[in-house]
Chain A
């Protein structure tokens, strides 16, 4: 049972055989403060909740994280090789790009354990001695609809690795690979900032990011392979 007031109201209403109106939905019948406020309140609750979900919870849930299979130290290796990035990430004779090095390259030096680190021990035992390729997780991998030519950017445009890949070469360990649960792609493509705001050129590598640079540099948009322009330069 409600309060005396309520009872009065309900009783009077019920006596008349009409359905009672509750306090919160009363608009017009009784002067009720709080009904409009209620609406506004719930609007604000919904608004704020969805903002939180969209800006905080969503990015949290959307991305999953994996560690790279081997703890690789770029900075250490960079000191040991002559030609910087190109020592292990190089062009093949036919102009295609080798990308992340294959086991054969590592074995050149790591046939046996070279240093004292646990990571290298693990690498030699699990991969070199078993002849297994290391399943590296590639931060910068684009969807298969994209045709990207390293030759066009490095050889023709004279770009350097850092512009697109950041300072990974100076890192002492490989950061975790964060990937999108829906698209299965690296978080690096959309960018770590969920709004897509970037500070450095390597923070984001969606199509717009490529286009921005292409427009800025006034790149002639004809593909060497297909002799077509526009979309077909990158989406063949």
Chain B
């Protein structure tokens, strides 16, 4: 019998009939439906026991307490810690995305060494062995002062261990990342005689005058300020934002006062002039608690009448008058400065002017005012014994010349490090340690930092993440992430009370990482003699527990320690100045160079635009780069795919022949970049703005390659009074690409 076409067809039909009457098609359909739910990239929530770990977020200086929710061994969600004095259960988008940093692809999984231009995995013994051998070599040759360290802060056991190591080893080259606290510290020292950080009682203030501070863009302790701002709408508190650009803070303020960029300090003095002239100041404070008022106000009235202030700032004279009267007439007025997130120290005299405004209205050390918050004194280690080599090393002086004329007032001048390194054939720094910082990306004049890091023969990064500085380093000794370790974190972010947070491990360290504290102790031990003797603890955990002493049980239980009594007593009983009063001026202040607004770098004829960088809550320009969740919420008026948009006023764009979305070439004295144009009426004509936090070349594919690093286009500008970086913008040119 032959199989012909018809037989074959009937075979198929029979097969179809039989198949339909079998479970095969129905079962397959159901199975395929389930299969589509089981694709490996479809996220499935964990099942398991739910636990919460109390800890603290360290991704920005704000110091929020967090509650880390885990399912089994996995961190699943980070939430704000209810009851914490700073954030009381709230948390910002960066904090919420913290788990992505823990498990993400940028983690450095073990020590690495640069061999033939590539980072290669090595063992801890090898890495530490080589580094400690080099350190010994330098010390024995009397070159101990050629070892430097950059850390994010100088407070807390970890930075203090780094500082202790450098000191007993014989090097004065410890650098802290710059911020507005540099100038506020100095202001408090000059005008109040105290060594403290400035804290601002936003919660109780009823009229906040912000000179460019991004109070809703990440300044200070962001969550705390967001919460205070929410309450102002109920309590009748007012926010007046002074800046050339309509930031989120300005948009949500009760009043936005656009000023010519860089002239915020002049406006502060203009307002002070009105207050003094019209005798609107708090007479009780000025007469009984201050000194130097007479000579100060004389200079003020001579130079800062409303007309001249109006001319320089571009603010209407009547606006200046009204603003001053409103500010002085409020019950609890508070003035604050520090552009954007406050990452730049700025002009000392600008900060002193704003601080003087607070003094004029009696806002020093009162509810709703500004406080001098002392450093917690729990770190009370005995002075280390110094040998001859160490003493000699410390005598060599800082390479940034901080503390020496003409930089006598400055403590750390990290902005001067690149020049000191790059301008010498033989770099004055032979070994550089970098902890919790990414200077090759996040500081103005970033290209100079890149050159310096490339030039320094041995750069050791403690970074947990493969950031720009780590990629250039010779060694990476990865520390645990903040969710994997114990650490004490004293908070200085403008919060008006002393707070110390404790981070604790939510998970066992995932990779072959080590606590910075343990590494420093081991390096010190390897140096032997007095260096080793200065580190009597077996490991960091022992050091931490012993150092915290009585604070340890409090921190262990609650996750934070705060001085409840601080602030409750009201005004500090004494100022520690010569006069025991608040000093509007004194001999030291009088000796400062006269105040002048900081000029932007660049030839105004060839570069007609002013480029200002800006900060937002969606883009983070520090040691931590945006995790994937956070880069996702950057609006498409700022970033589309890999293109960053520069904000330009429509009038300016019209003159340049640029349209919305058009690609343009931006040039500053430091470099050029390709950007796209966004027309924005919230920025002054003649001014253009780019966000900080983009233009990464490292981290992960979720962040790298997006946008342009504005820090590479902006140089640093030394404040004449201190040497601190006071840059706020630069001259620029924008033309069709």
Binding site for B on A (CB under 8 A): 22-25, 34, 38-51, 53-55, 58-59, 62, 92, 94, 96, 98-99, 143-145, 180, 182-185, 190, 194-196
Contacts and interface: CB of A to CB of B under 8 A. Distances in A.
Contacts of B23: 54-55, 58-59, 194-196
Closest 7 CB pairs of A and B: A54-B22, A46-B14, A50-B18, A183-B34, A47-B14, A46-B15, A43-B14
A62 B10 CA distance: 27
B18 A46 contact: yes
7 contacts: A42-B3, A42-B10, A46-B17, A182-B28, A184-B38, A190-B30, A194-B27
Nearest to A55: B22
Interface stretch (B41-49, B151-159, B698-706): B41-49
B64 to A, nearest CB: 25
B32 A182 contact: yes
B573 interface: no
B12 A34 contact: no
Given A24-B4, A50-B22, 9 more contacts: A43-B17, A45-B11, A46-B15, A51-B21, A54-B21, A59-B23, A98-B49, A182-B35, A183-B30
Contacts of B28: 182
A183 B31 contact: yes
Given A46-B15, A51-B18, A58-B24, A145 B37 contact: yes
A144 B30 contact: no
A43 B49 contact: no
Contacts of B10: 39-40, 42-43, 46
B424 interface: no
Contacts of A38: 1, 6-7
Contacts of A59: 23
A43 B27 CA distance: 24
Contact of B14 (A23, A42, A185, A194): A42
B11 A183 contact: no
B580 interface: no
A102 to B, nearest CB: 8
B51 to A, nearest CB: 10
Contacts of B47: 99
A41 B4 CA distance: 13
A195 B7 CA distance: 30
A59 B27 CA distance: 10
A46 B13 contact: yes
A86 B4 CA distance: 66
A42 B11 contact: yes
Contacts of B50: 94, 96
A194 B659 CA distance: 66
A62 B27 contact: yes
B6 A50 contact: no
B14 A44 contact: yes
Nearest to B8: A42
A164 to B, nearest CB: 17
B16 interface: yes
Given A42-B11, A180-B31, A48 B18 contact: yes
B7 A39 contact: yes
Given A39-B10, A143-B34, A145-B37, A47 B24 contact: no
Contact of A50 (B19, B30, B34, B37): B19
B31 A58 contact: no
Contacts of A53: 18-19, 22, 24
Interface in B41-67: 42, 44-45, 47, 49-50
Contact of A46 (B2, B11, B31): B11
A51 B717 CA distance: 85
B5 interface: yes
B78 to A, nearest CB: 19
Given A46-B12, A182-B28, A182-B32, A22 B4 contact: yes
Given A96-B49, A190-B30, A194-B27, A25 B4 contact: yes
Contacts of A44: 14
Contacts of B24: 53-54, 58
Contacts of B31: 62, 180, 182-183
Contacts of A46: 10-18
Of the listed residues B22, B28, B35, the one surrounded by the most CB atoms of chain A closer than 10 A to its CB is B22
B45 A50 contact: no
A183 B49 contact: no
Contacts of A22: 2, 4
